[in-house]
Structure 1
């Protein structure tokens, strides 16, 4: 009985000491989570890291997002046959005109006559081309995924991911902040909208992964770093 009481007393003493030590230990504070931590932009980062950026801009992350222009695309536009999506009975034909990128949506009747024709200009390319180039259309800065993707490893055009399995949304799959910021740096998002972005960066920048640069920049100016 005496041994049991001693053991219980030891356990209670241990818990008391542990709780006291937790209260006296200083809390760990991450400075980049403070209100003083602000984003400073790519140009500020380049003042110290220009050599790093020279190589980074050619990586997959650096080329993750770009304006839709043929020089930024890995796609082959020598397309001989349109992509057919049987569930919606639409055909899609990507093409280039004056280096700008477009996709044509059309439907044929039983005689092979065109009974529907729609052409949309592609506004952005998503993906570095290591695996795919997907595409975005913009209607007055409201962004939607285009229904076609170029699969670089297979060397072919096909329906965009999930457009066959989950249904062809045509040009109506809206892209919100969660979609865009997964593939790109932080865009300017119009307050109150789901998918309106007045300003769009091109590729993932330094602070997307490293966090706000205000505090390190201040430390450099003060001679601390």
Structure 2
């Protein structure tokens, strides 16, 4: 109850709830510190935090705060350059709401279905709405677009509401480059019902799963479940947690920042944070990392690499070792080769081998017998076909690739 109240910014009520029932419990005292913080009582907040630590509450930098969301614009007001970079990244534009649907390049003429030319899809604007109509023989099915999934970098998948109120993922997606409109990934070439030529109805659990990874602040109302996107895209508070307590801590001079700090987390914690979205579902194939299904989910395959499993804890080798989380991925292989060579070089080999405590096994593998100063990712992390149509992804299981022959390693569409 106290957590729920704090998440709504009701520090006073949370304090009353906790103060009436608090026991010599570390977590309860930590929550008291947050309630006092929201009330503006910094002295009591410091005292409760000190008591929580005395009772064994650990200072985990990855702990999500029970706080209200403040929005990325508020973050930018203090963290200017980083915030502005993040707001212009692909991550930040992975969801497009109804007010910005003009980003979607709708076709001027009807489109024949990519799998059945007798089925026709038409798009039209009606005021502020975009309506899609699909004709199957003598039947017509229609929906009104509500939002887009995807940043447009690889493509957009439209989602809409049909005449019965169902949330429907459109059968057609718009892919980047010269591809244009084609079948949405995961849709059957021949649907079981004529209505599914319009699109695939999304059950509630799938709606939530999609929105969890394409939005930052999602409000869920039950009975029946309804989802309201309060901030779309992957923005500041998606990774750092809600920032209400952080603002109170900074403004009041609290002894800790009260925000998730991935920079101080362990490699495993950082990878797990990214894996919230970049991990494959358990229902898919899990065996070979180069499987088109798995290659799309970097956090699933990266943790299989020897670079990750054999790196010493002090190396903190994780996703942000190569990627700036506030910007789009680098596309120049030299950037990544430099990261590889920071460990796999003569000057680092002895230190790295000692730190790993496997000097005989590991030291002999530190040097590439083919190329010692460049082309690391070109050979060991090639772009591969993925289960997402018209899209290739980098293979993040860093290893000797046994099947490189025939792969176009210079494909400019290979992306993170």
The two structures have a TM-score, normalised by structure 2, of 0.40
Summarize the Cα distance change of 1:92–1:84 in structure 2 as closer, same or farther, 3 Å threshold: farther
Partner of 2:87 in structure 1?
57
Give the structure with higher Rg (CA): 1
1:186–1:208 Cα contact (<8 Å) kept: yes
User: What is the CA-CA distance between 1:166 and the residue it aligns to?
Assistant: 8.6
Mapped to 1, the partners of 2:246 and 2:208 lie a distance apart of: 27
Q: Assess, with a 3 A threshold, how the Cα gap between structure 1 residues 208 and 80 changes in structure 2: closer, same or farther.
A: same
Query: Would the alpha carbon gap of residues 62 and 199 (structure 1) be closer, same or farther in structure 2, given more than 3 Å must change?
Result: closer
CA distance in 1, matches of 2:166, 2:83: 30
Residue 49 of structure 1 and its aligned partner are, at CA, apart by 2.4
Structure with the higher fraction of residues in strand conformation: 1
> Quick check: 1:155 aligned with 2:179?
yes
> 237, 249, 257: which is aligned to 1:207?
237
* Map of 1:183 onto structure 2: 214
Higher relative contact order (CA 8 A, sep 6+): 1
Give 2:151's aligned residue.
128
Q: Report if aligned partners of 1:91, 1:107 keep a CA contact under 8 Å in 2.
A: yes
Contact 1:143 1:197 in 2 (8 A): no
| 1:137 lines up with 2:160 in the alignment | yes
As a proportion of its length, which structure holds more helix?
Answer: 2
Deviation track 1:155-204 (CA, whole Å, cap 9, x = no partner) reads 3211211113694643423342112111122311122445x214443322
Deviation at 1:101, TM superposition (A): 2.2
Map of 1:1-225 to 2, 5 A cutoff?
28-30=58-60, 33=63, 37-42=66-71, 43-68=73-98, 69-73=100-104, 75-79=105-109, 81-86=111-116, 90-98=119-127, 100-108=129-137, 115-138=138-161, 143-164=167-188, 167=191, 169=196, 170-174=199-203, 175-194=206-225, 196-223=226-253
What secondary structure sits across from 2:238 in the alignment?
Answer: helix
* Cα shift readout 1:6-45 (whole Å, capped 9, x = no counterpart): xxxxxxxxxxxxxxxxxxxx674326637x6313321442
Residues 31 and 166 (structure 1 numbering): CA distance in 2 closer, same or farther, change over 3 Å? farther
Contact 2:147/2:160 (<8 A) preserved: yes
Q: CA deviation at 1:151?
A: 0.8
Distance 1:222 1:62 in 2: 30
Q: 1:149 to 1:208 in 2, by over 3 A?
A: same
Give aligned pairs, total.
Answer: 190
Moved more, 129-138 or 212-221: 212-221
The question of whether the paired residues in 2 share the 8 Å contact of 1:65 and 1:128 is answered with: yes
CA shift for structure 1 position 60: 0.7
Q: Name the Cα RMSD after superposition.
A: 3.2
- 8 Å CA contact 2:86–2:235 kept in 1: the answer is no
Q: Normalised by the size of structure 1, how large is the TM-score? A: 0.68
> Contact between 2:115 and 2:189, CA under 8 Å: does it hold in 1?
no
Residues of 2 paired with 1:210 and 1:166: CA distance?
43
How far, CA to CA, are the matches of 2:80 and 2:108 in structure 1? 38
Q: Give, in whole Å, the separation in 1 of the partners of 2:125 and 2:165.
A: 21
